[in-house]
Amino acid sequence: MAPPFTLSKDKIELQFATNHLGHFLLTNLLLETMKTTSREHKKERRIVNVSSIGHYMANKGIYFDKINDESSYNPLYTYGQSKLANILHANELTRQFKEERVELTANSLHPGAIATSLLRHHSFLEGVMNWVGKYFLKTIPQGAATTCYVALHPQVKGVSGEYFSDSNIAKPSSLAKDSDLAKKLWDFSLSMVAL
């Protein structure tokens, strides 16, 4: 979360590469197998993208033409952009699954504020969070609860294209529901991973 500007080994800004493109690539590499397995076993398969309430920080959307631009890099905005991408990815998958009539679902979620070293690149903020966070931050098992709920709970059967928080459907930003933006991100991501 919000590191100094860094490029991945593939020369892609590190937060976008790690938080979105890595998940996008893995999902796409597994997708045909998931579809086949779902059809053969007539059983729903679920894709769960861990996003963040931080997606609200990307209030101007995805800066496609500035993904690798160090001069316009803002660590928090870029983090929000990568988390917005997680939601858009799940929503575009949902659209495709409905079109193909496959028994797959894709959802995204905010796990909550968890006591981890996520702010390690911002020592002052990390210090404050360590000092006062023990009173309101979730433990790691508490933070994993929504992910487990969306991935496994029978109440989520057939639910797709939703954003969850605290094991409930929550309201993402309006940009997170933009189907044109989701499709544009899909095409852009495909070009970045060269599938």
Whole-angstrom distance, CA of residue 16 vs CA of residue 30: 20
Interval 103-145: pLDDT, tens: 999 999 998 765 555 544 545 555 555 555 555 576 777 888 9
Q: What is the pLDDT of residue 79?
A: 93
| The pLDDT of residue 1 | 79
Supply the pLDDT for residue 148. 96
pTM of the model: 0.89
The pLDDT-based confidence of 25 (bands split at 50, 70, 90) is very high
What is the SS3 assignment for 110? strand
Token pair in block for residue 45: 């398969």
Residue type, 2: A
3-state class (DSSP) for residue 130 = helix
DSSP state of 28: H
Question: Can you give the pLDDT at residue 120?
Answer: 47
The CATH architecture annotation of domain 14-193 reads 3-Layer(aba) Sandwich (3.40)
Domain boundaries, the chain: 14-193
> How far out from the chain centre does Cα 122 lie?
22
> pLDDT by residue (tens digit) across 47-97?
999 999 999 999 999 999 999 999 999 999 999 999 999 999 999 999 999
Residues classed as catalytic: 73
| All residues at 6 or more sequence positions from 84 whose CB lies less than 8 Å from its CB, including other chains | 51, 55, 58, 61, 62, 173, 175, 176
Residue 36 in contact with residue 104, Cβ under 8 Å? no
